[in-house]
Chain A
Amino acid sequence: MERTKNIGLFAIVAGLIILTGMIQSWNSALLIVNMGLISAIMALGVNLQWGFAGLFNVGVMGFVALGGLATVLVSSDPVSEAWAAGGLGLIAALVVGILVIVATGITIKKLPAGKMRLIGATAVLVGGFFLYRAVFDPAVAAIEAINPALQGNIGGLGLPILLAWPIGGVLAAGAAWIIGKTALGLRSDYLAIATLGIAEIIIAVMKNEDWLARGVKNVIGLDRPVAREVDLQQSAEFVDKATQWGFDPVTASSLYVKFSYSLLFTAVLVVLLVMAQLSLNSPWGRMMRAIRDNEVAAEAMGKNVTRRHLQIFILGSAICGIAGAMMTTLDGQLTPGTYQPLRYTFLIWVMVIVGGSGNNFGAVLGGFLIWFLWVQVEPLGQWIMTIVTSGMAEDSALRLHLLDSVAHMRLFTMGLILLLVLRFSPRGLIPEK
């Protein structure tokens, strides 16, 4: 019974997407599928943290952005002039930075508690900061001076972009480790604020540190794991096949490329989903849920709650990082200015809650469904508004304003959906077993 219902729900979403293909175009349907796959992976990551362990992470955007950063750092070609000009200084600055942090830690440990410790630690920290800036600033200036119109950054490793996906996960996991170490012992609201803040900081760093990935100047033309449309259109074999199937070559090439991405993304989703399912039903998963439901009891049973929380926080964030790298690969460009918390953090939360927190299939369903709505609310609203306003004069100010504002209806709709689900079906569409 329950299985039929769940399959039915997935079938409905699939039907909606197929309907998009038939009414609008197969191109937009595949776009929805691709971003739906990525959203489903992000939702899996958040579900791991919230659904399994009850951790309230509202810094998803930051981990997603780190994954995006990884694509640039892995796949773009190294800028050797920049490395020659400032590479040494950059590494030196990094070493100085680490030394300062270590020195501060030692000062705190060695000095007796009280005023002396506070003054000593502050002095080391402030002095160290100026030292770090003295090494760091000239190196950055040297790097950013190299061919600023095209580069002005250190470039990447020149490796295949598919490698960036796991590395994006590792980068996000590293950030999650630092945050988790500091904030996981705190109450859930505090963790929320802390993650919200760290996400903003990650975006700020990516926007302003031009030497890293060109900041708001963006990196465009990233490598691709699949064929390029232009190459396909020039290959006689492909054009022949396309005409045989009754497509014109341009449409066919764009569909082919999108479909190749879909296959790649589906592979990643399936692997992650299988792993998440296996872990959910393993002793480890049961322990996690036991901790979530009653921390005190779990601790009394000898479980190290903070340690387990840290573990799952890192895993979930890594999954978000992988998804972020995949998204940037799909876009073919890294644009730090486009990361918005409403879209990359809170929308993912809507997906998890609507889909059903604690259930991996629920998260996947939520990812697809909410992404579909996010895309389609706008044309749908446009259509409704046109009908509503059809009685008004052609140039009435209210009519124009209403038509104009449709673009913002999606935020309203997402909030409404979230509130309705929380009220009438708080466990989501596919509840936890």
Chain B
Amino acid sequence: MEFLNGFVALSNFVLVPAIAYGSQLALGALGVTLIYGILRFSNFAHGDTMAFGAMVTVLVTWAMQSIGISFGPLPTALLALPFGIAGAVLMVLMTDKMVYKFYREKKSKPVILVIVSMGVMFMMNGIVRVIIGPNEQQFRDGERFLIKAREFKNMTGLDEGLAIKSTQAITVVTAAIAVALLFWFLNKTRTGKSMRAYSDNEDLALLSGINPERVVAVTWIIVAALATIAGVLYGLDKSFKPFTYFQLLLPIFASAIVGGLGNPLGAIAGGFVVAFSEVMITYAWKKVLGYWLPDTLEPSGLVQLLSTDYKFAVSFMILIVVLLFRPTGLFKGKAY
């Protein structure tokens, strides 16, 4: 019983939140890693792409709510998601045509593209703030919880409750579907295969008749879709605030690099590694250890390694450790 109680407490405060957060990071990191693999630069505007897609979704959600469309127990935002994706796709395709294409044709150095993406980041950040403002916005509706802590206690008779927010469940399910679709696309379809070929060896791919502009356009579309999904899920789970998406850039890059830049599978693994370490290192273990350790060893302090304000420091430490000891990432990435 003691062990079960401890495990439930652990699930409630660590496992469930970390899985949800990890899925969001993984989706974000997939976008970064795809851009890196195909377009060969680190896209600093990715956080703001997420914010833009999420913003369009929020606006459509509000419109739907105001004319009375709802999705039953599920959040209306899921219905609005396709519109958000469409908006983000239009935005990135336009950005690519007006901004990035020029440098691609000139074969500029990657670092120039990174600086260009800084300019795009500024502009997108500005656009989002002009349209929806810098404040926190509420757009979640539908059922709040999948399982409530009290219900769980009654059901199992344990002392500890397990609460699963519906947004957490939705996050994991949606992320799983998105990732499955992505991998099916990359591995089974002709376009997906041409993308991987282009990523592996650009010259060889060009020789075999792959149209680079098409590959790039498809990549941007996928990236915009992933970014929007990640942004909306994060917004549903926590809250929508333009600035937080900018701050997500660091853990997202950490995830992509930890997994190996350019490697989609690595991005997913990296997302969960970063999320679990962040949550576990900033969690106060007193409760769980209280159940698991014999009474004599019960800790007196909170057993919290770092305060939650330092969660960015955690992703950073992981990043540094991986860069120092395994610069290609956990899975072999493109960057040597």
**CB within 8 Å for A204 and B309 given contacts A193-B319, A349-B115, A419-B123:** yes
Please name all residues of chain A whose beta carbon is closer than 8 Å to the beta carbon of B320 when the two chains form the complex. 182-183, 194
The A165-203 residues at the B interface (CB cut-off 8 A) are 182-183, 186-190, 192-194, 196-198, 200-201
Q: Is A303 an interface residue (CB 8 A)?
A: no
Closest to B325 in A: A118
**How would you classify the secondary structure of chain A's contact residues: helix, strand, loop or mixed?**
helix
Given A192, A346, A412, which contacts B127 in the complex, CB threshold below 8 Å? A412
What 0/1 readout, one digit per residue, does chain A (340-351) give for beta carbons within 8 Å of chain B?
011000100110
Given B134, B312, B327, which contacts A201 in the complex, CB threshold below 8 Å? B312
Contact at B253–A412, with CB atoms within 8 Å?
no
Instruction: State how many angstroms separate the Cβ of B240 from the closest Cβ of chain A.
Output: 16
Instruction: State how many angstroms separate the Cβ of A95 from the closest Cβ of chain B.
Output: 21
Please name all residues of chain B whose beta carbon is closer than 8 Å to the beta carbon of A418 when the two chains form the complex. 115, 118-119, 122
Please name all residues of chain A whose beta carbon is closer than 8 Å to the beta carbon of B120 when the two chains form the complex. 415, 419
Closest to A129 in B: B305
**CB within 8 Å for A412 and B123 given contacts A207-B309, A349-B115:** yes
Q: Is B114 an interface residue (CB 8 A)?
A: yes
Number of interface residues of B (CB under 8 A): 47
Given A56, A342, A410, which contacts B114 in the complex, CB threshold below 8 Å? A56
Select the residue from A129, A187, A353, A415 with max chain B CB neighbours within 10 A. A415
The B104-124 residues at the A interface (CB cut-off 8 A) are 110-112, 114-116, 118-124
Q: Is B227 an interface residue (CB 8 A)?
A: no
Number of interface residues of A (CB under 8 A): 43
**CB within 8 Å for A197 and B312 given contacts A346-B121, A349-B118, A408-B130:** yes
Contact at B323–A208, with CB atoms within 8 Å?
no
Contact at B254–A193, with CB atoms within 8 Å?
yes
Contact at B122–A189, with CB atoms within 8 Å?
no
Instruction: State how many angstroms separate the Cβ of B253 from the closest Cβ of chain A.
Output: 5
Closest to B242 in A: A408
Contact at B42–A192, with CB atoms within 8 Å?
yes
Given B42, B102, B125, which contacts A193 in the complex, CB threshold below 8 Å? B42
Instruction: State how many angstroms separate the Cβ of B109 from the closest Cβ of chain A.
Output: 9
Contact at A208–B309, with CB atoms within 8 Å?
yes
Instruction: State how many angstroms separate the Cβ of B51 from the closest Cβ of chain A.
Output: 12
Contact at B316–A201, with CB atoms within 8 Å?
yes
What 0/1 readout, one digit per residue, does chain B (289-317) give for beta carbons within 8 Å of chain A?
00000000000000001010110110110
Please name all residues of chain B whose beta carbon is closer than 8 Å to the beta carbon of A207 when the two chains form the complex. 309
**CB within 8 Å for A201 and B324 given contacts A193-B42, A196-B250, A415-B120:** no
Instruction: State how many angstroms separate the Cβ of B154 from the closest Cβ of chain A.
Output: 38
Instruction: State how many angstroms separate the Cβ of A80 from the closest Cβ of chain B.
Output: 28
Closest to B316 in A: A197
Closest to B131 in A: A405
Q: How many angstroms between the C-alpha atoms of A204 and B112 in the bound complex? A: 30
Q: How many angstroms between the C-alpha atoms of A413 and B123 in the bound complex? A: 7
Q: Is B246 an interface residue (CB 8 A)?
A: yes
Q: Is B249 an interface residue (CB 8 A)?
A: yes
**CB within 8 Å for A187 and B312 given contacts A129-B305, A193-B257, A416-B123:** no
Q: How many angstroms between the C-alpha atoms of A413 and B126 in the bound complex? A: 8
**CB within 8 Å for A353 and B310 given contacts A186-B323, A196-B249:** no
Q: How many angstroms between the C-alpha atoms of A56 and B115 in the bound complex? A: 9
Q: Is B73 an interface residue (CB 8 A)?
A: no
What 0/1 readout, one digit per residue, does chain A (371-412) give for beta carbons within 8 Å of chain B?
000000000000000000000000000000000110011111
Q: How many angstroms between the C-alpha atoms of A350 and B116 in the bound complex? A: 10
Q: Is B196 an interface residue (CB 8 A)?
A: no
Interface pairs A-B: 8 shortest CB-CB: A412-B126, A415-B122, A415-B123, A411-B126, A408-B129, A197-B316, A418-B119, A419-B119
